[in-house]
Structure 1
Amino acid sequence: MKNTIAISAAAVLALATAQSHAFSQPTHKRIVTDAIAYMAAHPDTTEYNKLAAAAQASGYSMAQFAEVLGQGAYDVDDFADTFICGAVTGDCVEAPVWGAGSSIAKYTSYWHFQNHTRGSDVHGNDLGGYNYDLLTVWGEVDNMAATWMTGDHLDDGQGGMTGWCYWWSCSEDSEYNTYGITEANYRQGSSSSKSMYEDFETMPFQPIDNLGQHWYNEFWKQPTAQTLGFVLHTTDLLQPHHTWTTSDLNHSGWESWVEDNYSALSLNDDSLVAAALNSFTPVDPQSQDIRPLLTQGGSISYSQGGVVLSSTASSDREQVARIVIPHAIAMTVHVLNHAANRF
């Protein structure tokens, strides 16, 4: 366990205002719309025509279709699907009080990691998600969260977890059965028990490829642009903080820099995306499991992007951005190519 320390209100405010999401929501959306634009420019090597036919059959123009997909990728950061309950107060909330503007603005963001610094997790996933106790890199935001939520547990509805249950606090205002719904959805063939989620500081959150697989399964059962858009939030796997796994370490500066320089540096350059496509093994047309493709994306950001956790130099950031953004677009193209055959 890492050294967690009591943090003053002033420090909390300073950290909250200094941090932000991984890829920003507008960047998530831009990656998706750029992937569709690439497909439109290369209908001979992509499944663009099938995608366009599906959009038309659903009453969308391609511009509208791209907008809905991109908005779906954007919206995942706003999900109200993860509540954590105070060990003492019993109060179940979806965000820390200092969360506005922070890298953990909502607790749902803890499902958006795939830790490439370690191996398999207690659930049986080949690569686990966020688990504070097992982080190999971390910063003050990680420590602050673990200090703030020591002993707090995942909301399990009326399922029985009630924290430490002091004499003045044995009741709990459950808001959402996160264990029974969200965690169960993201389990995807792995195994879990409530005891794994009794204390925040040792919670083994499911990895983001399981999140993507859940929504891809929902899309497969009933194809909609929105559910497919939710899948595409998995471009977080091309954000190095999400594969090195930390809520801190220049998170905000990197995210803002990417959004600010996306167009100026032509990070969606056609030739960069074309080259990046060759870095992936496409999903087997006979398979519904897209997780091997998503993990390939995570491997790229982990192996080639770690410098942005320690360096704020524009030259370092540009070098990494020219790798991860084209690969995020390319990974999205591969998912859309596979999905086009389901409409």
Structure 2
Amino acid sequence: MKQLLLTASLLLCTQQAQAFSQETHKRIVEDAVAYMAQHPSTTQYQKLQTWSQQLGLTPQQLGEFMGQAAYDVDDFEDTFLCGAITGNCVQAPIWGAAQSIVKYTSYWHFQNHTQGADPHGNDFGGYNYDKLTVWGTVDTLAATWLKGDHLDDGQGGQTGWFGADKSQYNSFQITEKNYRIESHSQYSMYKDFEKIPFQPIDNLGQYWYQSYLTHKNPQLLGFVFHTTDLLQPHHTWTTSDLNHSGWETWVKDYYDHESLNDFSLVSAAMDSFSPLASQSQDIRPLLTQGGALSYAQGGIVLNSQDHYDRVITAKQVIPHAIAMVVHLLNHAMEQQ
């Protein structure tokens, strides 16, 4: 257990990233565990309780630990983009903190429901500036700043001018490969940022879920729960702008005041999902259901900052995010 906590601490930093706020990610997981505790007859809470005891934790402590792991995904140092001229590879733009693009790893956290299949063969692709149907200044600023920049593919791979190569991390052969599940990629897809088809977040979730099934490590399962970004409408309409950061801050600020985690709403949301078959290890169909919900119900928050509009949307997407985690926990406990 000490090793798990050490690993988590190594991933943690203090910066805000582009997703549901990190605090919101953690609260969603904690609330999912609390919901299970209140509904033991309709969830796999007893198995969750047994697992937590085996780990030397209470269910609440386990929820906090997995919630912290969901929080940590925004802090992964696994995605570097390299200058077209300098070959210098960095994990964030220098202007990113002011524009909610703190780390490039956030570009793996989208599932574009405004488009169909992507060049990788996924039913829904991820972030791809060239394929956006809604966008704003932040998207355009990134594409302009990063024009021609490439995904780090290790020393001796793609370079800047005159062979300049300041590789930091082979993101193509590690991160992208991890998220390439049942799809295909060629490095040529990642040579120009403004045309890069990033893998979608459901593949990220599937990778970490497969890792959890192999190791039964609660931190790995917590990483899966970052896929509640699929209930954040900006991540399914796919834009870094259009009130993206402001909406996420509002959700964090009003999470308790507006009772966005109302368990009666979570109970209703539970029925909106088709549960995963216990014998299946592919969780992506459930994740895509969450993405379809936020795309269908949440578009107004891209264009409105009205408090009432935000409350109506948040009372749809947050209970569904909690319900999605409950379904994932139910399935995970059936695999114990």
**Is the contact made by 2:34 and 2:60 (CA closer than 8 Å) also made in structure 1?**
no
**2:250 corresponding residue in structure 1:** 257
Equivalent positions of 1:266-305 (< 5 A) are 266-305=259-298
Equivalent positions of 1:214-225 (< 5 A) are 214-225=207-218
Q: Which piece of structure 1 moves more, 38-47 or 93-102? A: 93-102
Corresponding letter in the other structure for 1:128: G
**Is the contact made by 1:157 and 1:174 (CA closer than 8 Å) also made in structure 2?**
yes
Query: Does residue 185 of the first structure (1) align with residue 182 of the second (2)?
Result: no
> Post-superposition shift, 1:158?
2.4
3-state secondary structure, aligned to 1:100: helix
Corresponding letter in the other structure for 1:145: A
Query: Does residue 52 of the first structure (1) align with residue 62 of the second (2)?
Result: no
- Runs of at least 4 residues off by over 6 Å: none
Instruction: For structure 1, list consecutive stretches of 5 or more residues without a partner in the other structure.
Output: 1-18
Q: Distance in 2 between matches of 1:328 and 1:78?
A: 21
**Is the contact made by 2:66 and 2:219 (CA closer than 8 Å) also made in structure 1?**
yes
Q: Distance in 1 between matches of 2:172 and 2:245?
A: 29
Evaluate the alpha carbon distance shift between residue 214 and residue 131 of structure 1 in structure 2; reply closer, same or farther with a 3 A threshold.
same
CA displacement, residues 176-223 of structure 1 (integer Å, 9 cap, x when unaligned): 000000000000010000000000000000000000000000001111
Q: What is the aligned-residue RMSD (CA, Å)?
A: 1.0
Normalized against structure 2, the TM-score is what?
0.94
Q: Distance in 2 between matches of 1:27 and 1:76?
A: 13
3-state secondary structure, aligned to 1:230: helix
- Aligned match for 2:95, one of 83, 94, 98: 98
**Is the contact made by 1:20 and 1:101 (CA closer than 8 Å) also made in structure 2?**
no
> Post-superposition shift, 1:162?
1.1
Evaluate the alpha carbon distance shift between residue 260 and residue 177 of structure 1 in structure 2; reply closer, same or farther with a 3 A threshold.
same
**1:144 corresponding residue in structure 2:** 141
Corresponding letter in the other structure for 2:175: T
Corresponding letter in the other structure for 1:179: F
Q: Which piece of structure 1 moves more, 92-101 or 241-250? A: 92-101
Corresponding letter in the other structure for 2:57: Y
> Post-superposition shift, 1:20?
6.1
- Aligned match for 2:111, one of 90, 114, 129: 114
Matched positions, count: 321
**Is the contact made by 2:87 and 2:165 (CA closer than 8 Å) also made in structure 1?**
yes
Instruction: For structure 2, list consecutive stretches of 5 or more residues without a partner in the other structure.
Output: 1-15
**Is the contact made by 1:31 and 1:329 (CA closer than 8 Å) also made in structure 2?**
yes
**2:25 corresponding residue in structure 1:** 28
> Post-superposition shift, 1:21?
2.6
Q: Distance in 2 between matches of 1:91 and 1:79?
A: 19
**Is the contact made by 2:265 and 2:319 (CA closer than 8 Å) also made in structure 1?**
yes
**Is the contact made by 2:80 and 2:152 (CA closer than 8 Å) also made in structure 1?**
yes
> Post-superposition shift, 1:146?
0.4
Equivalent positions of 1:128-167 (< 5 A) are 128-163=125-160, 165=161
> Post-superposition shift, 1:101?
4.2
**1:172 corresponding residue in structure 2:** 165
CA displacement, residues 252-308 of structure 1 (integer Å, 9 cap, x when unaligned): 211111111110111111110000000000111010000000000000000000000
**Is the contact made by 2:80 and 2:104 (CA closer than 8 Å) also made in structure 1?**
yes
Q: Distance in 2 between matches of 1:250 and 1:20?
A: 14
> Post-superposition shift, 1:120?
0.1
Q: Distance in 2 between matches of 1:257 and 1:106?
A: 21
> Post-superposition shift, 1:62?
1.6
Evaluate the alpha carbon distance shift between residue 63 and residue 101 of structure 1 in structure 2; reply closer, same or farther with a 3 A threshold.
farther
**Is the contact made by 1:71 and 1:229 (CA closer than 8 Å) also made in structure 2?**
yes
**1:11 corresponding residue in structure 2:** none
**Is the contact made by 1:20 and 1:102 (CA closer than 8 Å) also made in structure 2?**
no
Q: Which piece of structure 1 moves more, 185-194 or 56-65? A: 56-65
**Is the contact made by 2:269 and 2:320 (CA closer than 8 Å) also made in structure 1?**
yes
> Post-superposition shift, 1:315?
0.8
**Is the contact made by 1:20 and 1:255 (CA closer than 8 Å) also made in structure 2?**
no
**1:89 corresponding residue in structure 2:** 86
> Post-superposition shift, 1:63?
2.2
Query: Does residue 126 of the first structure (1) align with residue 123 of the second (2)?
Result: yes
3-state secondary structure, aligned to 2:96: coil
**Is the contact made by 1:82 and 1:178 (CA closer than 8 Å) also made in structure 2?**
yes
Q: Distance in 1 between matches of 2:98 and 2:62?
A: 30
Q: Distance in 2 between matches of 1:23 and 1:179?
A: 25
**2:234 corresponding residue in structure 1:** 241
Q: Distance in 1 between matches of 2:213 and 2:330?
A: 14
